Structure 1
Amino acid sequence: MAPKDTSLALGMVSLMLHFSWTWVGLLITEGQKGRQFLSDVRAEMDRNRICVAFVKTVEVTLSAYFGKFQHDFQAREPSPANVVIVYYDSESLSDVNFNIGGYLVTWRVWVTNSQWHADVTGRNFVLDSFHGTLIFSNHHEEISGFKNFIQTANPSKYPENNFLSLYWFKNFHCSFSDSGCSLRNCPPNASLAWLPVSRFDTAMSDASYNVYNAVYAVAHALQEMLLQQVQTQSMKTGEGIVFAMWQLHPFLKSVHFIGTTGDQVHLDDERKLEAEYDIFNIWNFPEGLRLRVKVGEFSPHALHGQKLSLSDHLIEWATEVTETPHSVCSESCDPGFRKTPQEGKAACCFHCTPCSENEIANFTDAEQCVKCPDHQYANIKRNNCIQKSITFMAYEDLLGKTLAGTTLSLTVLTAAVLGLFVKHRDTPIVKANNRALSYTLLISLTCCFLCSLLFIGRPSTATCILQQTSFAVVFTVAVSTVLAKTITVVLAFKVTAPGRRMRQLLVSGAPNSIIPICSLIQLTLCGVWMGTNPPYIDTDAHSEHGHILIVCNKGSLTAFYCVLGYLGSLALASFTVAFLARNLPNTFNEAKFLTFSMLVFCSVWVTFLPVYHSTKGKVVVAMEVFSILVFNAELLG
């Protein structure tokens, strides 16, 4: 008659989820029902990500189990399971209950089925292990007349009931008559309703309700069998109906009726699925109160999210527990952290690891951190993504002001030197220095300094193109001018015999043609670059934290490095020629200075490439401007 516990596991796990208990112990009695419940509840816990802290199987005979029981439930583990699900389907319950209570495990919350009665009669502990127990009991309506029956039942009304007489003798201090067959000296009108709940619970238990339905099932089966026999059997007058007990079985197997409480009772189903449960809370303080208070219901037929209804304010928790108990293996990870499993432990045991840079976790117990989009960045707590601000190398920045100021200062200085050369253009030293080449060099250096200003300010398509092409061409003019000056010096001191062809070249100013030839080659390279994949405006969302940097993308890196490589080859050629002419006579000889100038240029050039590739953000732009200023400054020097 007892319904199968098919929805008990779901109801208990729903209770775990309601209170966020994710670290739960299991205490199961041996037997087929216990094994089935263990399988059901573990599967349900796994589906809802609730971990099993331990599983203890209680033997029917507990003599071998007593020694382990104290350690398991008295000691507090580093990550204690403060909630224990207890499933009983055994007659030897009082032994187990007494053992648990004997060790006063007052911090545990016991969640159990209705078969556990926690019989601790006669004990007078001030603290009780069973106070606050939550019991899942099969839902059934109250049977009409049952309370009146309990209140009026007594040995005089049922004299043939020896058990009732013994119970009266024990609880109401009666005495037996001399004949030993009847009670005397009993309190007048004594009733079972007088007894405390710890001695006699007047509420009908699940087992009693099942027995009640079983009796009615037998009665209905007997009636059906008698009716059939009356209809099919020809009986002699006065002859009673005689039958064997086995003949009742077919009728009992198919019996189906509506009980006095309105519940349908039928024995033709193998399982009674999805039983509904009432949830009771045991109030056992002071000791012996044993009050069962209904605090909720569980109905598997209800809509999802409404299966469990609970009145939290009615629940009395275990002794010494004033707030809703907490039962987890590891505390929840706050937003900004992710869960990292502990090796060899359950999924509920984990470490909280901060999210990596530019990743967030905006809810509790995140499994993984989420990377912020490119246009956003993670805040300090790493629980929210913030919009990045637009930035670039502006004139308002300290770095921009410094570079722009340096550029203008060097430009003015170069213009002053050019003015000095123009003012003294007719002096022997200016003439001997090759006046035309000096003017060309100083003008190109002035333009090179001004090219630095193209790198500062908000980039546009025009400035991105002019940054590279203007500097490349103008600086090519400057370096090729240095090469022409160096060759002129070499020719002036090496070619002294009149009438030689090399002398004619020197007199005609042929070395000066190096400038347009070299510049034309650089223009061709820049033209190919601009025609295939020119520079364009781009954004860099990764170099500077919290900022989207507007930059000029070089477009074709191959063309960019070809232009730079061509400049480097010109500088190397100038350095080589100047180095070969370093020992010429000192009078009007600037070969030594040119050698030193090209040596500095090549050193800066070699340093520029690795530094350029290892920097990010505005520093890249600053590095380019700084390199341009150094190149020009050392040539000016």
Structure 2
Amino acid sequence: MSFHFEIISSSCKIVPQLHRCLEHSTNLHDITPNYNCIKSKSCIVVVTGPNWVVSSIFAKVMDSNIPPQVLQLTFGPFHPILSDHDQFPFLYQMAPENTSLPMAMVSLIFYFSWNWIGLTISDNDQGIQFFSYLRTEMEKSILCFAFVNMIPLNIHLYKLRAEVYYNQILTSSSNVVIIYGETDSTLSVSFRMWTSRGLQRIWVTTSQFDVTTSKSDSLPEWFHGTLAFAHHHAEISGFKNFIQSKNPLKYSDEYLAGLEWMNFNCGVSASMCKTLRNCSSNSSLEWMIAQTFDMAFSDDSYDIYNAVYTMAHVYHEALLQPMGNQEEHRSNCLKLNSLLRKTHFTNPVGDRVNMNQKEKLQPEYDIFQIWNFPNGLGLRVKIGMFSPHFPHGQQLQISEDILEWATGSRQMRPSVCSADCGPGFRKFRQEGMAACCFDCSPCPENEISNDTNVDQCVKCPEDQYANAEHIHCIDKTVSFLTYEDPLGMALTLVALCFSAFTSVVLGIFVKHHDTPLVKANNRNLSYTLLVSLIFCFLCPLFFIGHPNAATCMLQQITFGVIFTVAISTVLAKTVTVLLAFKVTTPGRRIRCYLISRAPNFIIVICTLIQIILCAIWLGVSPPSIEIDAKSEQGHIIIVCSKGSMIAFHCVLGYHGSLALGSFIVAFLARNLPDTFNEAKLLTFSMLVFCSVWVTFLPAYHSTKGKVMVAVEVFSILASGAGLLVCIFIPKCYIILLRPERNSLKKLKEKTSS
């Protein structure tokens, strides 16, 4: 079986031109053109492309023949119109549909951390369909279009808006532009105009789109450049040796640059790279000719390669069928078309070829960095590959070493709408802005972000707080009033000193219990008051140290009861003084109460009332441990809550009413004539006591944590010290330093006078 190949001029793009081209072919070979040969029964196989318009026109012209005499295989970019089997029943596209191209481009964009992308496409069905698929894929990864330019196919309409398209790219902040369209179109004209005017961007396109710049004397721009996606296929056996056996020095530079069927897949070493970068514009081509490159077919050439093998398989299957003679079977286009539709095989390089157009194959892509050298020569360096058949996250494979070799850096130029929000910040989107455009705002208090471009900051746990940079959480320090704390140590020392001093005063009174001064001021009540003051000074020890359930209840109940004893004792002493000087008539009933020590019952009754109040407090809402992790930055405050604040204020109010009663009674008895009249001392002590607790309330409610505890401890110590100093220090002064005044004689002298 023999095959005849004929190349028709690429200028045949309309019906009259097709006829002239075929007539020219007839004159050259003196044979009747295959497509209108009436006597021949052979089935002609025509390979057309890469322009889909030419292929569609040719198919429509050939479809007028009945029975059909032509099977048409097309190379070049896949076009959805040509895949309509009802409209073109005898036409087959060798190129696979670019169903995974948008996914591949989005994967590359995501890999380089770009999110602000420009798009320029041809304003036709193919470009709009690509835009739709690309937009769907970009929305999945939160990528945004900076602009979308749809270049019209009509040259006159394009000229009216050419500057608008140029200015759109020039003024855009996007550094990456995707170009998708046909080589022979106004889009190609636009790209050449942009590059010739020095518009530098990272262009992302397909291998079918002609990205080779015009003949320039400048060396390639390493930082910018073009990233092209080409269908992946293995090296064809023998092709490399065939190319290398030719002597390229026989041909001009223009011829080498115009070899559309040959691409240079660079695999040179780093030393060669250094030489290439330092070479002059005149020697770059000579340097490349002297090197050894891996060579492979372009996508169009590979489609033609597969078309030849496809028809070889079809004819082979036709010859193997037993029906009829071989000549008749071979000449029947309908039968060959039926066999062609079912043909699928693995070509010599290991790639699968399937002519069933209903089965859509997802092609793999090689990713190239394209260098545009002087004299219009383009060098492609393969930097990676995309395979949709791999698991998600592993589909894109980029060789960082080759990328660094090809671009000079492992990092590509950024293309983002907004700068990244670093750790400690979160993205803040304003209404109407694209998803990729945002402002950065610091994380709120006690919230962190330890990653870039987070939408929301993460709140720290209750036992942690955010550092100053809002990057990570730090464990909070447990805070309470401890004995080791300087404040706690000082209050403890003061409490122990006052309790010791009160004990000394009690010892003095016990030692001098028979002296007129001690007797005249009701020594039993004095003893009771001094003992209660000792416990009052020791009571703050319950407030210092790590709180627990027991100490929380003891500190408030002990404080409430013991201070009630102390104040009620002062009240009893005041009543005793008043009765002693006001009720002197023998036989009066009130005098009987004084003789029978009835004022002493005041202590019991007043204390019993306070005990009842405390019992109600414990029954309704007792004091408990409270953990406060919010009041103070970086600290977890452990304090004893009061439980029922009403009960707490009732206890304080009861103290205040007793103190006020003592103050009133003592004030009434302040001018009674007697050397040892202590009414004035009691009046002043109650004045100090009331002043301390009146100032305590606002100070207590305006503080938090251990300072609040310290305020209460200080108030307890200050009020107790006021009672001790005001009532007992003057008496100790007389007992120890002025003993001559502590006699019955002096008492009588003062009384008689």
TM range (shorter): 0.7 to 0.9
Normalised TM-score (structure 1): 0.80
1:295 to partner: Cα distance: 1.7
On the 8 A contact 2:225/2:370 being kept in 1, the answer is yes
Q: In 2 relative to 1, CA 427–271 (structure 1 residues): closer, same or farther, beyond 3 Å?
A: same
User: 1:131, 1:282 within 8 Å by CA — same for their partners in 2?
Assistant: no
- For residues 624 and 114 of structure 1, the distance between their equivalents in structure 2, rounded to whole angstroms, comes to 83
Q: Which residue of 2 aligns with 1:4?
A: 97
The 5-angstrom pairing of residues 81-100 of structure 1 reads 81-89=174-182, 91-92=184-185, 93-100=187-194
Q: Greater helix percent: which structure?
A: 2
CA-atom RMSD, angstroms?
4.0
When residues 600 and 84 of structure 1 are mapped into structure 2, their CA distance, relative to the original with a 3 A threshold, is farther
Match of 1:64 in 2: 160
Alpha carbons 2:212, 2:378 under 8 Å: kept:
no
Query: Does the residue aligned with 1:436 lie in a helix, a strand or coil?
Result: helix
Distance 1:531 1:498 in 2: 49
Find the aligned partners of 2:298 and 2:196 in 1 and give their Cα distance. 25
CA separation of 1:286 and 1:36: change in aligned 2, threshold 3 A: same
Structure 1 equivalent of residue 59 of structure 2: none
Question: Counterpart in 2 of 1:74?
Answer: 170
Distance 1:339 1:355 in 2: 10
Q: Is the 8 A contact 1:112 1:134 kept in 2?
A: yes
Correspondence 1:346 to 2:430: no
Q: Quickly say closer, same or farther: Cα 1:444–1:131, change in 2 above 3 A.
A: closer
Deviations 1:422-454 (A, max 9, x none): 455555554443333233222211220121223
The 1:487–1:350 alpha-carbon spacing in structure 2 relative to 1, beyond 3 Å, is farther
Alpha-carbon distance between aligned partners in 2 of 1:522 and 1:391, rounded to the nearest angstrom: 32
- CA, structure 1 residues 284+11, in 2 after alignment: closer, same or farther (shift >3 Å)? same
Q: Cα distance 1:319–1:363, how it changes in 2: closer, same or farther (>3 A)?
A: closer
Q: Is 2:498 aligned against 1:405?
A: no
C-alpha distance in 2 between matches for 1:189 and 1:585: 136
Deviates more, 1:188-197 or 1:57-66: 188-197
Aligned partner letter, 1:70 = Y
Q: CA, structure 1 residues 585+57, in 2 after alignment: closer, same or farther (shift >3 Å)?
A: farther
Partner of 2:29: none
Q: Note the alpha carbon deviations across 1:534-561, whole angstroms, 9 max, x for none.
A: 5555654445544445544545555544
Letter in structure 1 aligned against 2:706: K
Give the whole-Å Cα distance in 1 for the aligned partners of 2:135 and 2:539. 74
- Single out whichever of 202-211 and 627-636 deviates more from structure 2: 202-211
Offset of residue 241 of structure 1: 9.9
Q: TM-score, with normalisation over the residues of structure 2?
A: 0.68
Matches within 5 A, 1:11-410: 11-60=104-153, 61=155, 62-75=158-171, 80-89=173-182, 91-92=184-185, 93-106=187-200, 108-125=201-218, 132-143=225-236, 195-197=255-257, 200=260, 202-203=262-263, 204-214=297-307, 231=324, 256=344, 259=347, 261-270=349-358, 272-285=360-373, 288-315=376-403, 323-410=411-498
Q: CA deviation at 1:297?
A: 1.2
**Distance across 1 between alignment mates of 2:503 and 2:404:** 92
Q: Which residue of 1 aligns with 2:574?
A: 486
Aligned residues of 1:110 and 1:130 also touching (Cα < 8 A): no
More off after superposition, 491-500 vs 315-324:
315-324
How far apart are residue 476 of structure 1 and its match? 0.6
Residues 445-494 of structure 1: per-residue CA shift (max 9 Å, x gap): 12201212232234455544432222221111011112223333444455
CA distance in 1, matches of 2:323, 2:130: 46
Q: Relative to structure 2, which stretch is displaced further, 611-620 or 192-201?
A: 192-201
1:626 matched to 2:714: yes
Aligned to 1:511: 599
Map 1:408-423 onto structure 2 (within 5 A).
408-422=496-510
Q: Partner letter of residue 719 of structure 2?
A: F
The one-letter amino acid of 2:116's match is W
1:8 Cα offset (Å): 0.8
Taking CA–CA contacts closer than 8 Å with sequence separation of 6 or more, which of the two structures ends up with the larger relative contact order?
Answer: 1
Distance 2:425 2:625 in 1: 37
**Residues in 2 aligned to 1:449 and 1:402: alpha-carbon distance in whole angstroms:** 13
Match of 1:569 among 654, 657, 661: 657
* Corresponding position: 1:450 with 2:535: no
Correspondence for 2:524: 436
Q: Which residue of 2 aligns with 1:521?
A: 609
SS at match of 1:363: coil
8 Å CA contact retained: 2:257, 2:375: no
Counterpart Cα distance in 2 of 1:427 and 1:151: 132
Sequence identity (%): 54
- Give the distance between the partners of 2:684 and 2:655, measured in 1 at CA: 17
Instruction: Say if 1:198 and 1:598 are closer, same or farther in 2 by CA, change over 3 A.
Output: farther
Q: Which runs of 5+ in 1 are unaligned?
A: 154-186
- Secondary structure at the counterpart of residue 471 of structure 1: helix
Verify the 8 A CA contact 2:403 2:410 in the aligned structure 1: no
CA displacement at 1:596 relative to structure 2: 4.5
The 1:576/1:86 distance shift into structure 2, 3 A limit, reads: farther
Corresponding letter in the other structure for 1:63 = K
1:472 maps to 560
**1:321/1:54 Cα in 2 relative to 1: closer, same or farther (>3 Å)?**
farther
Alpha-carbon distance in 1 for matches of 2:398, 2:601: 98
Q: 1:284 to 1:120 in 2, by over 3 A?
A: closer
Separation in 1 of the partners of 2:147 and 2:596? Answer: 102
CA contact (8 A) 1:407 1:452 kept: yes
SS at match of 1:279: strand
Indicate if the aligned counterparts of 2:211 and 2:226 stay in contact, CA closer than 8 A. Answer: no
Q: Is the 8 A contact 1:101 1:130 kept in 2?
A: no
Cross-structure match for 2:690: 602
TM-aligned CA distance change 1:420 to 1:95, over 3 Å? same
Distance 1:198 1:558, change over 3 A: farther
Structure 1 residues 72, 214: CA separation in 2 closer, same or farther (over 3 Å shift)? Answer: same
Instruction: Give the counterpart letter for 1:65 in structure 2.
Output: R
The answer (yes or no) to whether the contact 2:192–2:214 under 8 Å persists in 1 is: no
Question: Using a 3 Å threshold, how does the CA distance of structure 1 residues 304 and 585 change in structure 2: closer, same or farther?
Answer: same
Cα shift at 1:211: 4.6
Equivalence for 2:38: none
Structure 1 residues 436 and 312: CA distance shift in structure 2, 3 A: same
- Please give the alpha-carbon distance, in whole angstroms, between the structure 2 residues aligned to 1:286 and 1:497: 134
Q: Structure 1 residues 121-130 or 453-462, which shifts more? A: 121-130
Q: Relative to 1, partners in 2 of residues 1:295 and 1:462: Cα closer, same or farther, differing over 3 Å? A: closer
Alpha-carbon contact 2:577-2:669 (below 8 Å) kept: no
The one-letter code of the counterpart of 1:408 is L
- CA contact under 8 A between 1:414 and 1:446: conserved in structure 2? yes
| Cα-to-partner distance string for 1:47-79 (whole Å, 9 max, x where unaligned) | 22333333332233431332223333334x5xx
Go from structure 1 to structure 2 and tell me whether the alpha carbon gap of 1:82 and 1:71 turns closer, same or farther (over 3 Å shift).
same
Tell me by how many angstroms 1:123 deviates: 3.7
